[in-house]
Amino acid sequence: MSANQTSRTGQRTRPITLLSLGHACVDVYQGAVAALVPFFVSERSYSYAAASGIVLAASLLSSVVQPLFGALTDKWAMPWLLPVSTLVGGVGVSLAGVSDSYALTLAAVAISGIGIAAYHPEAARVARVASRGSHTAMGWFSLGGNLGFAAAPLLVSAVIATYGLRASPLLVVPALAGTALCVAALRGSATTGMKGTKAPAAATADARASRVVGRDDWASFIKLSGAIACRSIVFVGLSAFISLHVRQRTGGGEVSGMAALFVLYLGGAVGTVAGGKFATRHGRIPVVQWSYALTVLAVAGVVFVPGPLLYVFVALTSAGLYVPFSLHITLGQDYLPQRVGTAGGVTLGLTVSIGGIATPLIGALADAASLRTALAPLIALPAVGWLLLRTLKEPEMPDVLRSASARGAAR
């Protein structure tokens, strides 16, 4: 490969690389809220319902606000949202352990949820165009977020298990790094867009051009969103309580619980990239359908299998939940080609965050009966998602993205 070809390849991959790294820094804070739950239970003696209320606070405003940000970014370029929202997301979580007040803790994680909500629609749209329609490239973008999720239990354990909840301000460090990455990506747009490679600002312009091609398929989009909501309730519910559940089922301590949460998140790193590759070979819809079917069996194993074998089912659950993750985003955008910001806001925001709204119900049932009893209904939800996905057909890729993908392959 010549020096010029190497340079062009680097220019094409740089936007996705920066966006993926920034995504990791943002999604640390989505994972951090669930990772903090066991410490709130042990240090502050919160009930299951009270602890799950913290997860709800992080999700509720986010679920409402994220589609709004998606609609706004459909109309106006808002690149400044990327660094600002990254910083807000980190500051909220970093303040969660400072006060003993339950109300102030809820407010802090709610602020973090707003920051995370503001980030995703613009980032998802820019990544979609920067990927030139490649499912694999979108898988790498989603991988960044999943690695952030996976790092959250390690980060929280390193800080909070060592110094206690009062040390939560130290958790702001990833947000500072993510803000710097976003600024670098935006500054780079002035130069990387010159030779046919679209950086974030240029990508946003192409995204708007792509919206005028194709008709919005709301019926398919609503079914897809319903399936994502089912997936979200399973994922958020397990994220909030898997540490406590595994400790009960294995007889281990805090390390065993955090290890299970780490496996749940880390499996997503493999699953997301694999999902993009599988979709390129077999199509998005079949891959998404089979993933939901696998998740039914995997979650059943998590709920009922005791002992160390439980970790195997946690890993399988992670794969089933994460293989379709990036495919949800691109399917939603292709079902609504004229409203890609709205599609990103719903698939990454409303339907994902809705899991946090259901989590207090799981916590209340756990208080009334047992944690295993409370987690058992999660087995049925992937089956409901599979039923919603059965009638979906593969949408057509917008012409702008199709031509860009072809040019990228030719190079």
- pLDDT tens track for 187-213: 754 444 433 334 444 444 444 444 445
Instruction: Please give the Cα distance from 205 to 327 (Å, whole number).
Output: 23
DSSP states of 167-185 as a string?
GGGGGGHHHHHHHHHHHHH
Kindly indicate the confidence band of residue 290, based on its pLDDT and cuts at 50, 70 and 90. very high
* pLDDT reported for residue 389: 96
> Which token pair is 267?
């499996």
Report how far Cα 392 is from the mean position of its chain's Cα atoms.
23
With a cut of 60, say whether residue 176 has pLDDT above it.
yes
Are the C-beta atoms of 288 and 324 separated by less than 8 Å? yes
**Which residues are CB-neighbours of 72 under 8 A, at least 6 positions away?**
78, 341
Are the C-beta atoms of 385 and 227 separated by less than 8 Å? yes
* pLDDT reported for residue 245: 93
Phi-psi domain of 214 (left: phi exceeds 0; alpha: psi -120 through 50; beta: other): left
Kindly indicate the confidence band of residue 120, based on its pLDDT and cuts at 50, 70 and 90. confident
Among 354, 19, 49, 75, CA closest to 189: 19
Among 239, 132, 137, 119, CA closest to 179: 119
> Which token pair is 11?
């220019």
**Weakest mean pLDDT among 2-6, 105-109, 246-250:** 2-6
Residues of the chain with pLDDT > 70, as a percent, come to 83
Whole-prediction pTM:
0.69
Kindly indicate the confidence band of residue 11, based on its pLDDT and cuts at 50, 70 and 90. low
Class of domain 11-410: mainly alpha
Residue type, 157: S
Instruction: Please give the Cα distance from 65 to 288 (Å, whole number).
Output: 27
Are the C-beta atoms of 356 and 58 separated by less than 8 Å? yes
Instruction: Please give the Cα distance from 378 to 386 (Å, whole number).
Output: 14
Tell me the pLDDT of the chain averaged across its residues: 81
Q: What are phi and psi of 223, to 5 degrees?
A: -65, -45
Instruction: Please give the Cα distance from 373 to 365 (Å, whole number).
Output: 8
Instruction: Please give the Cα distance from 322 to 288 (Å, whole number).
Output: 10
With a cut of 60, say whether residue 1 has pLDDT above it.
no
The mean pLDDT of 404-411, rounded to a whole number, is: 46
Instruction: Please give the Cα distance from 346 to 216 (Å, whole number).
Output: 14
Compute the CA torsion angle 354, 357, 359, 364 (nearest 10 deg): -150
Phi-psi domain of 307 (left: phi exceeds 0; alpha: psi -120 through 50; beta: other): left
Instruction: Please give the Cα distance from 72 to 69 (Å, whole number).
Output: 5
Instruction: Please give the Cα distance from 240 to 233 (Å, whole number).
Output: 11
Instruction: Please give the Cα distance from 46 to 207 (Å, whole number).
Output: 46
User: What is the CB-side half-sphere exposure of residue 170 using CA atoms within 13 A?
Assistant: 14
* pLDDT reported for residue 205: 47
CA distances from 162 to 22, 26, 39, 411 (A): 27, 23, 11, 51
* pLDDT reported for residue 196: 36
**Weakest mean pLDDT among 5-9, 65-69, 375-379, 399-403:** 5-9
* pLDDT reported for residue 70: 75
Between the two ends of the chain, the Cα-to-Cα distance in Å is 12
- Identify the residue with better confidence: 201 or 303: 303
* pLDDT reported for residue 399: 54
Instruction: Please give the Cα distance from 186 to 14 (Å, whole number).
Output: 12
Alpha helices in 157-253 (DSSP H): 162-163, 173-192, 200-211, 218-250
Instruction: Please give the Cα distance from 100 to 146 (Å, whole number).
Output: 30
* pLDDT reported for residue 137: 73
